[in-house]
Chains A and B, each alone.
Chain A
Amino acid sequence: MDSKTILSIQRVTLSLGGKRILNDLTLDIWRGHVHAVIGPNGAGKSTLASTIMGLNGYREYSGDIYFESESLKDLTIDERARRGIGLAWQEPARYEGLTVETFISAGMSQTSGLGVDEALLAVGLDPDTYRQRAVDTTLSGGERKRIELASILSMKPRLVIMDEPDSGIDIDALNKIFEAIKTLRKLDSTVVLITHSLAVLRQADHAFLICCGRVVRKGSVSKIETYFGEKCIPCDHKNDPAEETENGSS
């Protein structure tokens, strides 16, 4: 693994319920860059995020994943988090009775990221309004996503995986999330955006197109956007996409 690579996924295959979801998938993530992993529904994008974080049910895979040259295979979720990996969920969990302040503070002991108020401001939420609110169903989807991201900012992880950051939120909330991605850049975090949205794709420096659990194309955002628009909307592969490679992050 070279020095510019922070995360290396090497020939990872994972099956769920007898179905192969990740299929000999290989990709490298470069330190300090924003990457997008784009693909149609069912391509394996969220499974990839869950596998990197080591969520329950996503730990039995062949191949290996290296973070800062260390295999993640035997590490639990919290051990991976303490190594510096953070995950912003597509549908964040809600907690009865837990305040926003407590939730955001939960990860702060691990690193020296933004404080609670700073993190809330960074995602466009007023600390006085939100600090003592419960992270429960009284929050809208957009509010909850932004609080999820605020908690990530407070952790200052070295690698942030954001799973479908635009799902279920309005334009205003999405713009705040894009601002937060810029804040993560300033904090020297590496970002992986899991998405099927072109608007999110455009926030990245590099992109991977995955389909049927494998990388089918990688390279510049503009080229992946063009390819994705022409070939994937609607999807025209024959369920056995041949791998195509371009120069770019690899």
Chain B
Amino acid sequence: MEAADLITALYRSVGEACVTSPDIAHIEIHGNNVLGVHLVNGLHVDAQETEYGIDARITVDNGIQISHPIRICFGLIPEKGSQHISMDITIEDDAHVAIAASCSFPNAQEIVHSMDADIHVGKNARYAYLEKHVHGAAGGIRVIPKARITLDTGARFQTDFELIKGNAGTIEIEYDAICGAHSILDMSARISGRGTDTISIHEKADLVGEGSRAVLTTNIAVRDSAEARIKNTLIASAPYARGHVDCKEIVQGNARASAIPIVEVNHPKAHVTHEAALGSVDSKQLQTLMARGLDEDAATDLIIEGLLTRRR
């Protein structure tokens, strides 16, 4: 398949059109091939093809504010293969940027997709990384995203991992963030598991800077024989550090779910909280929708759809 056809296939598989606007930076990567790169002022990308993927260095220059989210499309169209993405991302001081990444494996039967990222967000910089996965129905995929994040003073970082369409397969998320003074971290994951999917999430934030804040949110729905294990850790070690860990999991059929929120405070002026709700669909929510004429299955689907919707 030609590069242009692969690009079209990747975007189409996530329900989107190819990016054509010159104002929008975009990068398309299929397997270990960089199919396309379009940059805008202040954005630098150095991508090297490796045996099983890409080593990429992404930098946004000091003070640059990129108005449109950068589109990155990863994926593999074939049924089998590996894709390992190694990324070194630096958002320099006062820069603002968002990346909207889609990861598409529509025909996956035996695929491994791993991401190993080092992310540094400079002073008063803002970085949002929104990652949307679309998998096929077979669930023959293992996804292993790992990221080490450092936030400088006043930095803001938001990440959102979405996997709602297709069978999740095996998901092993591991994010670890160190938050400097007055920085803000917002990490969320929204995943639907079915069949024999297994979902493992370990997000960790170290609030080491005075006045730093973090929210770790996980919304999961598992059905059939799927399994979800969530272990989120929040450690506050500085005055006025604030944090919250929130986990909601809806469990149906023979699915299983566990949540272990670990919260640790090492300073008398720090404060962290946690909340976890696991189990069946809330009875009142369900009955309210049934009292609108929806049968139990339709009402349940609607509640799960809401739970897995990205927060506004």
Contact = CB atoms under 8 A, between A and B. Distances in A.
B289 interface: yes
A166 B289 CA distance: 22
Contact of B290 (A76, A132, A134): A76
Given A89-B288, A92-B288, A97 B308 contact: yes
B17 interface: no
Contacts of A213: none
A76 B287 CA distance: 10
Interface in B138-176: none
Contacts, number: 72
A96 B306 contact: yes
Interface stretch (A22-30, A103-111, A197-205, A219-227): A103-111
B64 interface: no
Contact of A78 (B285, B290, B305, B306): B290
B296 A95 contact: no
Given A55-B287, A56-B287, A106-B302, A97 B293 contact: no
B303 A95 contact: yes
Nearest to B248: A96
B293 A109 contact: yes
B303 A110 contact: no
B287 A97 contact: no
B46 interface: no
Nearest to B284: A93
Contact of B306 (A56, A81, A95, A155): A95
Given A97-B305, A98-B305, A107 B293 contact: yes
A97 B288 contact: no
B303 A98 contact: yes
Nearest to B190: A97
B283 interface: yes
Interface string A89-128: 1001111111000100011011000000000000000000
B290 A77 contact: yes
Contacts of A151: 292
9 contacts: A78-B295, A86-B291, A92-B288, A94-B285, A98-B303, A106-B292, A106-B294, A107-B293, A107-B294
Interface of A: 53, 55-56, 76-78, 80-82, 86-87, 89, 92-98, 102, 106-107, 109-110, 132, 134, 151, 155
What 7 pairs across the A-B complex have the smallest Cβ distances?
A107-B292, A97-B309, A98-B306, A97-B306, A110-B293, A81-B293, A77-B290
